[in-house]
């Protein structure tokens, strides 16, 4: 069973209480359970992590690159300014899907910029927690394509 890291940036542990009109009422624990359950159904071992610390996130990305581990990443606020994270992600050795619960392009103008999208395999945004489900399906499909090549 292939491991996939689902990495989450700042404030995502506050799901359920943080701006529920934007991010919904489901909690981070709900998100983690949904990702693990989806992964099981796809034959993936999903490990869900969250940090508010940029250095820790960069370390996790290095770990994934070194291990050729696919990543589903919600960089949260790091999306808009973290060149350190972008440079770490550019070293990826496996699929990387950027996800967002809301649609950043439909929100405040500062959210329209992503420094991550240019180094990601693809981006899924605006589908609530389903964005993660769609991203895990994309990873499973990309891995199947690699295995069949």
Q: What's the CA gap between 10 and 4, in Å, rounded?
A: 20
Residue 87 labeled ligand binder: yes
The gap between the terminal CA atoms of the chain, to the nearest Å, is 18
Residue 124 labeled ligand binder: no
Residue 11 labeled ligand binder: no
* DSSP H stretches of helix in the chain: 20-23, 28-42, 54-67, 83-89, 130-148
Residue 53 labeled ligand binder: no
What letter does residue 17 receive in the DSSP assignment? T
Residues involved in catalysis: 23, 100
Residue 102 labeled ligand binder: yes
Q: What's the CA gap between 140 and 70, in Å, rounded?
A: 10
Residue 131 labeled ligand binder: no
Binding residues for substrate are: 74, 80, 87, 101-102, 111
Residue numbers in the known binding site are 74, 80, 87, 101-102, 111
């Amino acid at each position: 069973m292939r491991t996939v890291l689902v990495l989450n940036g700042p404030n995502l542990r506050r799901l359920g209480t943080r701006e529920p009109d934007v991010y919904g009422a489901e909690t981070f624990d709900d998100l983690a359970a949904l990702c693990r359950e989806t992964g099981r159904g796809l034959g993936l071992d999903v490990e869900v992590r969250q940090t508010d610390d940029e250095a820790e996130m960069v370390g996790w990305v290095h770990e994934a690159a070194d291990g050729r581990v696919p990543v589903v990443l919600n960089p949260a606020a790091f999306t808009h300014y973290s060149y350190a994270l972008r440079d770490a992600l550019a070293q990826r050795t496996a699929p990387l899907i950027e996800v967002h619960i809301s649609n950043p392009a439909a929100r405040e103008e500062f959210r329209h910029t992503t420094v991550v999208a240019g180094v990601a395999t693809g981006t899924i945004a605006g589908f609530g927690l389903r964005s993660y489900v769609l991203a895990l399906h994309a990873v499973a499909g990309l891995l199947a394509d690699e295995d069949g090549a």
